[in-house]
Amino acid sequence: MENRIQDRPRHRMRDRAASGRWLFVALAVSLLAACAREAPEAALRGRVASLVAAIDRREPAALQQHLAPDFIGNGGLDRDGARRLAAGLALRHRETGIAIGPLQVEMAQDHATVRTTALLRGGSGGMLPDSAQAYEVQSGWRLEDGEWMLASLRWQPML
């Protein structure tokens, strides 16, 4: 009888430990599932940041690597035309820069839409830019081989 009384707390402890392990496993699985849902958007936001950095560094070839082969922009601008446009702006202005506003991201299975505002500026190195313009920007992104590629870009002057 004495052994049975001593065994009961052990059984309860084992049951609690087993239920605690299941609770931990369930919590870990739900956290991993939540992370998996956030991962594509985080990767897309990182890709947008990388594209903005390439523009800021005035590197047309790096910019082009973010563009899908069938990229299309305003006025029928294609992938090669976008690289040439970036190179022309880099030659025209000794200093260029871009500042973007908060990103509004709409995710789907393997594509996404990103809306933002952008301020583009170009200058000759003085205190003030020679030119600056604010734009409303809408971009379409597509997941290709695990990497977000810019498939379309539309921009419109805000002023």
Least confident of 21-25, 45-49, 71-75, 120-124: 21-25
pLDDT tops 50 at residue 157: yes
Is this prediction's pTM over 0.75? no
Is the domain spanning 40-157 CATH 3.10.450.50? The answer is yes
Q: Which residues of 25-47 are buried (b: 16+ CB within 10 A; e: fewer)?
A: eeeeeeeeeeeeeeebbeebeeb
Nearest alpha carbon to residue 53 among 64, 43, 62, 45? 62
